[in-house]
């Protein structure tokens, strides 16, 4: 289990990082190369960027395919069903991601 | 034609030949010679010299992608870069088949401007997100998809109004 948790929390290469865009081809200059960085960036990036990626399903895709955390990806996918936007979207995303992050950190400590 | 350190002094006749080839590169030496009132061998010699020294870079077909049935979108991508990395970013872009043209520009910041083609909006985004944004030194990217083309032409070397032409002859 510890190996799986460490893998989710690992630092990624530039190629595998998440790049925040506001629309097709418009890169904000913000990126995240780990779950921890991603969690903080959710609170910082342009709201337009959050809405763009959220509705395209980019967050859950990256979390599932690159970080390989199916559980968190599922948590974000479930949010798609609710009609959240703006600051509420930001706080809900942060809540789901930070809750999972804390859970993973505690699992890692427990294993050690 | 005088050659000095790989630089050229083209005369009026060279410009006339270039103009004829820019209008239609498939024109024969005989046809160009007839138009300019000179022997086809003169046209041949001058064209070969201009090819040899890179004045004429290449001959290519201009394809109407719509009529060829190719579905694609074209976009102008502006990449804001760290000045120290801009050359490397430009070189990387040049190596991508999706990128047709690459330029650098210095306004308030150092920019790389590139013309990009992709099958659709999604593949354009995937290319930029996966192959351009991760390049070291890329700060931000702005992309505009071209919706309609009003004009596409090459600068005519023999345009009488052109600065170059006036200077050369």
Length of chain A counted residue by residue: 112
> Would you say residue B2 has pLDDT above 60?
no
Per-residue pLDDT, B67: 84
Instruction: Decide if B143 and A26 are in contact by the 8 Å CB cutoff.
Output: yes
Per-residue pLDDT, B1: 53
Query: Phi and psi dihedrals of B38, rounded to 5?
Result: -135, 165
Mean pLDDT, rounded, for A41-63:
95
Residues pairing with B79 in the sheet = B112, B141
Mean pLDDT, rounded, for A6-16:
94
Instruction: Decide if B143 and A29 are in contact by the 8 Å CB cutoff.
Output: no
Mean pLDDT, rounded, for B158-164:
54
Residues pairing with B112 in the sheet = B79, B104
Q: Which residue has the higher pLDDT, B149 or B116?
A: B116
> Would you say residue B163 has pLDDT above 70?
no
DSSP class of residue A14 equals G
Per-residue pLDDT, B162: 53
> What burial class does residue B150 get, using C-beta atoms within 10 Å of its C-beta: 0-12 exposed, 13-18 middle, 19+ buried?
exposed
Report the chain B residue with the minimal C-alpha distance to residue A56.
B122
> Would you say residue A29 has pLDDT above 50?
yes
> Would you say residue A56 has pLDDT above 80?
yes
The rounded percent of chain A whose pLDDT value lies above 90 is 83
* Arithmetic mean of pLDDT over chain B: 87
Q: What six digits make up the tokens of B28?
A: 């024969």
Long-range contacts, stretch A57-60, CB < 8 angstroms, 24+ apart: A58/A18, A59/A18, A59/A93
Lowest mean pLDDT, pick from A59-63, A75-79, B103-107:
B103-107
- Of the residues B122, B129, B136, the best mutation for testing chain A's interface (the one with the most A CB atoms within 10 Å of its CB) is B129
Q: How far apart are CA B117 and CA B95, in angstroms?
A: 14
Q: How far apart are CA A15 and CA B134, in angstroms?
A: 6
Mean pLDDT, rounded, for B85-112:
92
Q: Which residue has the higher pLDDT, B40 or B169?
A: B40
Q: How far apart are CA B139 and CA B161, in angstroms?
A: 40
On whether the CB atoms of residues B61 and B38 are closer than 8 A, the answer is no
Residues of A in contact with B145 (CB under 8 A): 24-25
- Please list, in sequence order, all residues whose beta carbon lies within 8 angstroms of the beta carbon of residue B54, skipping any fewer than 6 positions away: none
Q: How far apart are CA B92 and CA B114, in angstroms?
A: 12
Q: How far apart are CA B14 and CA B43, in angstroms?
A: 9
Mean pLDDT, rounded, for A74-85:
86
On whether the CB atoms of residues A47 and A86 are closer than 8 A, the answer is yes
DSSP class of residue B19 equals H
Instruction: Decide if B143 and A17 are in contact by the 8 Å CB cutoff.
Output: no
> Would you say residue B169 has pLDDT above 50?
no
Query: What ipTM score was computed for the predicted complex, to two decimals?
Result: 0.87
**What confidence tens digit (pLDDT) does each residue in B4-31 have?**
555 667 899 999 999 999 999 999 999 9
Per-residue pLDDT, B168: 47
Q: How far apart are CA B169 and CA B166, in angstroms?
A: 6
DSSP class of residue B20 equals H
Residue A103: C-alpha distances to residues A75, B4, B149 (Å) = 13, 72, 54
């Amino acid at each position: 289990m510890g190996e799986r948790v460490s893998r989710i929390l690992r630092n990624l290469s530039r190629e595998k990082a998440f790049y925040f865009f506001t629309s097709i081809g418009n890169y904000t200059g913000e990126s995240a190369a780990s779950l921890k960085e991603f969690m903080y960036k959710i609170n910082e990036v342009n709201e337009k960027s959050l809405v763009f990626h959220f509705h395209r399903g980019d967050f859950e895709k990256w979390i599932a395919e690159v970080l390989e955390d199916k559980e968190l990806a599922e948590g974000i996918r479930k949010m798609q069903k609710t009609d959240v936007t703006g600051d509420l979207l930001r706080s809900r995303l942060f809540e789901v991601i930070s809750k999972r992050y804390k859970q993973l950190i505690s699992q890692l400590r427990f294993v050690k | 034609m005088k050659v000095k350190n790989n630089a050229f002094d083209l005369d009026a006749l060279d410009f006339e030949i270039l103009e004829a080839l820019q209008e239609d590169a498939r024109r024969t030496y005989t046809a160009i010679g007839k138009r300019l009132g000179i022997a086809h061998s003169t046209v041949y010699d001058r064209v070969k010299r201009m090819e040899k020294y890179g004045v004429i870079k290449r001959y290519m077909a201009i394809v109407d992608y719509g009529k060829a049935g190719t579905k694609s979108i074209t976009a102008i991508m502006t990449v804001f870069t760290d000045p120290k990395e801009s050359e490397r970013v430009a070189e990387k872009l040049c190596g991508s088949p999706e990128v047709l043209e690459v330029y650098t520009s210095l306004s308030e910041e150092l920019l790389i401007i590139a013309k990009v083609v992709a099958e659709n909006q999604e593949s354009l985004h995937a290319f930029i997100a996966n192959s351009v944004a991760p390049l070291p030194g890329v700060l931000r990217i702005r992309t505009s998809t071209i919706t309609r083309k009003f004009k596409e032409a090459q600068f005519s070397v023999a345009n009488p109004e052109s600065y170059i032409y006036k200077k050369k002859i």
